[in-house]
Amino acid sequence: MTVDWSIKGPAIATCNCAWGCPCQFNAPPTYGDCRAAIGMRIDEGHFGDVDLSGLKFAALLAWPGAIHEGHGEVQPIVDEGADERQREAILKIMSGEETEPGATVFNVFASTYETVHEPMFKPVGFEVDIEGRNGRISVPGVVEATSEPIRNPINGKPHRARVVLPDGFEYTEAEYGSSTASASGAIPLDWAGRHSHLATLHLTPTGPVR
């Protein structure tokens, strides 16, 4: 029997694909491989009797091809403010443990990893305005990823796109933006003008709360 857990709060996902991210539509990645930086702030959350409210986490991810083809790797990062039990709880959620098979993005991704790098416990900076499509994930010395609105190439005005996935295992509705990311270490990242999406996530062992 799985542990009762729940996390709710804003999240940012950035990746190296073109705006829109083909993964969202069961299509191959734009440039052949998939690389990503994600982050979330838990506004309300628990793992059993462990309170997770107010904590943040991030992850760097990479796959040599489409995600479902496997051979992926992940670098988990948990905010250094988390105590030992909170760290363990967040890492279990991120690893897809205590989750019904295929129910959450963490469980699905975990089934594709070949390498899980040693978790980092560092300050995780997280800023987000979902409706404005603006956001930032920052871990000093590790990653800097930002999101901003997609711009009309003619007049430079913000272009708004929102995608609804009624049966999605990550979000039900997300705002789409444009990302820039730079990361060093086990999973280097480097791009500008690529995909981002921002959403409020509410996940449990059985999947998103809709």
Would you write out the chain's pLDDT as a tens digit for each of its 210 residues?
A: 579 999 999 999 999 999 999 999 999 999 999 999 999 999 999 999 999 999 999 999 999 999 999 999 999 999 999 999 999 999 999 999 999 999 999 999 999 999 999 999 999 999 999 999 999 999 999 999 999 999 999 999 999 999 999 999 999 999 999 999 999 999 999 999 999 999 999 999 999 999
Q: Which residue has the tokens 């091809």?
A: 65
Range of the structural domain that residue 190 is part of: 5-208
The Cα–Cα gap between 183 and 139 comes to 9
The total number of structural domains that make up the chain: 1
Query: Which has the closest alpha carbon to 195: 7, 35, 9, 2?
Result: 35
The Cα–Cα gap between 12 and 17 comes to 15
What pTM value is reported for the model? 0.95
The Cα–Cα gap between 71 and 113 comes to 6
Cα–Cα distance list, 103 to 34, 39, 144, 161, 189 (Å): 21, 19, 29, 26, 28
The Cα–Cα gap between 76 and 153 comes to 36
